[in-house]
Structure 1
Amino acid sequence: MEKTDQRYHHFIQILREELVPAMGCTEPIAIAYAAAKAREVLGRLPERILVEASGNIIKNVKSVVVPNTGGLKGIEASAAAGAVAGDAGKILEVISQVTDAQKKEIKSYLAGHEVRVAPAPGDVVFDIIVTLVAGADTVRLRIADYHTNIVLIEKNGEILLESGNVVSDSASGLTDRSCMSVEAIVDFVNTCDIEDVQDIVQRQIDYNYAIAQEGMAHDWGANIGKVLRQHYGDDIKIRARAMAAAGSDARMSGCEMPVIIVSGSGNQGITASVPVIEYAKELQVSHEAMLRAVTLSDLLTIHMKTGIGRLSAYCGAVSAGCGAGAAIAYLNGGGFTEIAHT
């Protein structure tokens, strides 16, 4: 694919949009981000917080450990962490710099203030509305369609920001994905100037492999990675699964290491990259070949997930698993036909 082809630049921009760092499961972090931004607009600590969330947000947040909170779980903890200790400027790393003193403040805030959760009105699949109240001041902020998409900020009835109609499962504001196809993605991966994607993808390799190693080294969650390795051996087929599972276990259990997400999900970001990295190491391919393979996996994952939406009852890690499998076929010498069939 020539650099003069518009798709070439679209693919790079899509990677920039999708491969971003996040600490913790992305839905609680989105709530923390909303609360931190709303508190910034409010100008002081709120006396009470209301979080209205769509069903899939509630499902994804209710049982997840929120990082940097001392083990707290759920929507209330996410909102309190953002309001008390969040830095909205860090976006999906909003609570990455919480101090020990602030962790105590978060717990104290939850004990002494009302943080209420309610279903969001309407049928938008990805919908978070936070309302912060302090004295006579009220701030209402809404994130919809994807994790960082603030569509409304309102203070004391005055609209400070409004970005138009929210369409369920839309990706308005993101680069048009209609240019994507398996054939075009394979063409791009085979011919792109590696320097155009290296910084973006290398950070994903570094971050996601590091949390996978952390998951294997210490006790996190159900320790699925360790269980796979201990009971089924260290064959590459097992190791690729075990490392990805270990990274996910650490992330979902409150590990304070960042992950590079794909399609709005850390588990998808881990699944799309870690098994491919493990196979690249096993096959002793060049570093450039690893970079191209992970890029292939990422773009295929995004392509498959585009028609499904950012949140769904369908687990997006399945798409990432398909992307990783296709990239492993690529590492084993597969071309378009083998990748497409995989």
Structure 2
Amino acid sequence: MDKNDCKYRKYIELLKKELVPAMGCTEPIAIAYGAARAREVLGGLPAHTKIAVSRNIVKNVKSVVIPNTNGLKGIDAAAAAGIVAGRADKELEVISAVPGDKKREIKEYLAANTIEVETQEGDLLFDIQIEMCKGEDQVKLRITRSHTNIVYIEKNGKVLLENSCEEAKEKEDGVDLLTVKDIVDFAECADLEELAAYIEPQIQCNYAIAQEGIRGTYGANIGKVLLNSQEDTVQNRAKAMAAAGSDARMSGCELPVVILTGSGNQGIAAAVPVIVYAEEMGSSREELIRAVAVSDLITIHQRSRIGKLSAYCGAVNAGCASGTGIAYLQGGRFPEIAHTIVNSLAVVSGMICDGAKPSCAAKIAVSVEAGILGYHMYLQGQEFRGGDGIVTKGVDETIYNVGQLGKDGMRETDKKIVDIMMGCVSKE
């Protein structure tokens, strides 16, 4: 791929856009960010706050620990953290630096003030609407489609910012140029330092939280379980370290993660297994950076067909993509990578997303296992062929099929998952 090609610049821009640091699970952090920004506009702590969120936000906030809150969970807690201690200028690191007295104040604020939460219906899977009042002053703020995309701010009836949801949708476009062959070509020719600017923070941050997950006690400790129950192989360490990063992150670990397609778990799953293999192989810095770029862009390629929020588990996309990064490290190029992704997606596509929580770590481990299996199948001359279930001829065509499954086919599944999680399903 020529560096003057529009595709080349687009791929660089995609990495720049998607690889951003975040402290904590991104949906509650988006609420904290919106609440912090609304408080700034209001000019003080609100006496009353009302938050309306789409059902998928409920799903991804309900069970995850919010960092720097002394173990709090929930939409109201995320909003309180942003109101009391948030710095909106830090965006997805809005509550990354909270002193001990502020942590106590978050809990006290929750007890003394009203934060109403309601679920809203509609076509938008990602929608957060916040209303705050203090005395005679009132602020309204809305975030749609992505975690920091504020589309509306109003104070005392005066509109300060307004972007239509359709304009927000257009900002998400630009992934239509992605193909697996072009991704491999791009990784081969991309300027190393330009790549490193976005990939190296991901390598450093996400491997650090994986190491912390192994050292500490978080969630169900899936990473430790894998290390203690299976043989000490590079394949098992790759699964375990990726899972450990999620163990820590889902349980409120106060370390940053570089997210991918809006998800810290996907940022971890796409990079950490590749890092483990690179360490085992003694790979160079350049080889690791280019291999992680392959994994990242193939994750983006898959998720762009599904969307950031779905009933389809994003760990599948990133875990399977990690197998392509491992293949690249070992000298694989388009044939190896294409077969790896098709083989792995044939195994784990359809795993549901039932929100952010400790079991995400186990789903990452299973998906990384599928990615590695997909590559090993190719090495041994084995493959799943077009017509085997949703697999069709051509890797991009198979990715398209999986996208249709995740975006359209699982729409009703998504609604049912949220109903179950909210206790809205009758046992009769």
Same fold (TM over 0.5): yes
How far has the Cα of 1:175 moved from its partner? Answer: 5.7
How far has the Cα of 1:333 moved from its partner? Answer: 1.5
Larger mean Cα displacement after TM superposition, 94-103 or 170-179: 170-179
Q: Which residue does 2:249 correspond to in 1?
A: 251
Contact 2:55 2:121 in 1 (8 A): no
Aligned length: 340
1:108-130: CA deviation from partner (whole Å, max 9, x where unpaired) = 00001111110124221101111
Larger mean Cα displacement after TM superposition, 327-336 or 34-43: 327-336
1:93-114: CA deviation from partner (whole Å, max 9, x where unpaired) = 0001111010111000000111
Contact 2:238 2:276 in 1 (8 A): yes
Q: Which residue does 1:224 correspond to in 2?
A: 222
1:246-292: CA deviation from partner (whole Å, max 9, x where unpaired) = 00010010000000000000000000000010011111111100000
Q: Which residue does 1:6 correspond to in 2?
A: 6
1:157-211: CA deviation from partner (whole Å, max 9, x where unpaired) = 21110111348xx743246111111111100001111111112100000000000
| 1:58 and 2:61 aligned | no
TM value normalised by structure 1 = 0.97
Match of 1:180 among 153, 174, 178: 178
Larger mean Cα displacement after TM superposition, 80-89 or 231-240: 231-240
| 1:289 and 2:287 aligned | yes
In 2, the alpha carbon distance for the partners of 1:322 and 1:294 equals: 13
Which amino acid in the other structure matches residue 123 of structure 2? D
Which amino acid in the other structure matches residue 137 of structure 1? D
Q: Which residue does 1:20 correspond to in 2?
A: 20
In 2, the alpha carbon distance for the partners of 1:267 and 1:46 equals: 33
Q: Which residue does 1:324 correspond to in 2?
A: 322
Q: How does 1:21-40 map to 2 (within 5 A)?
A: 21-40=21-40
Q: Which residue does 1:209 correspond to in 2?
A: 207
Which amino acid in the other structure matches residue 62 of structure 1? K
Q: Which residue does 1:314 correspond to in 2?
A: 312
SS at match of 1:177: coil
Contact 2:68 2:252 in 1 (8 A): yes
Q: Which residue does 1:233 correspond to in 2?
A: 231
Identity between Structure 1 and Structure 2 (%): 58
Which amino acid in the other structure matches residue 228 of structure 2? Q
In 1, the alpha carbon distance for the partners of 2:3 and 2:306 equals: 29
Q: Which residue does 2:197 correspond to in 1?
A: 199
In 2, the alpha carbon distance for the partners of 1:220 and 1:121 equals: 34
Which amino acid in the other structure matches residue 158 of structure 2? E
SS at match of 1:179: coil
Q: Which residue does 2:258 correspond to in 1?
A: 260
Contact 2:132 2:140 in 1 (8 A): yes
In 1, the alpha carbon distance for the partners of 2:147 and 2:82 equals: 14
Q: Which residue does 1:157 correspond to in 2?
A: 157
SS at match of 2:117: strand
In 2, the alpha carbon distance for the partners of 1:79 and 1:120 equals: 17
SS at match of 1:318: helix
In 2, the alpha carbon distance for the partners of 1:297 and 1:272 equals: 6
How far has the Cα of 1:233 moved from its partner? Answer: 2.6
Where relative contact order (Cα < 8 A, 6+ residues apart) is larger, the structure is 1
Contact 1:24 1:255 in 2 (8 A): yes
1:137-161: CA deviation from partner (whole Å, max 9, x where unpaired) = 1111111001111111111121110
In 2, the alpha carbon distance for the partners of 1:60 and 1:166 equals: 24
Q: Which residue does 1:79 correspond to in 2?
A: 79
Contact 1:146 1:171 in 2 (8 A): no
In 1, the alpha carbon distance for the partners of 2:74 and 2:231 equals: 35
Q: How does 1:103-142 map to 2 (within 5 A)?
A: 103-142=103-142
Inter-CA distance 166–120: structure 2 relative to 1 (3 Å threshold): farther
How far has the Cα of 1:336 moved from its partner? Answer: 0.3
Contact 1:120 1:129 in 2 (8 A): no
Contact 1:146 1:264 in 2 (8 A): yes
In 1, the alpha carbon distance for the partners of 2:289 and 2:133 equals: 48
SS at match of 1:254: coil
In 2, the alpha carbon distance for the partners of 1:165 and 1:266 equals: 25
Which amino acid in the other structure matches residue 19 of structure 2? L
How far has the Cα of 1:74 moved from its partner? Answer: 1.0
Larger mean Cα displacement after TM superposition, 233-242 or 19-28: 233-242
Which segments of 5 or more consecutive residues in structure 1 lack a partner in the other structure?
none
Which amino acid in the other structure matches residue 160 of structure 1? L
Contact 1:139 1:154 in 2 (8 A): yes
In 2, the alpha carbon distance for the partners of 1:38 and 1:62 equals: 22
In 2, the alpha carbon distance for the partners of 1:172 and 1:108 equals: 41
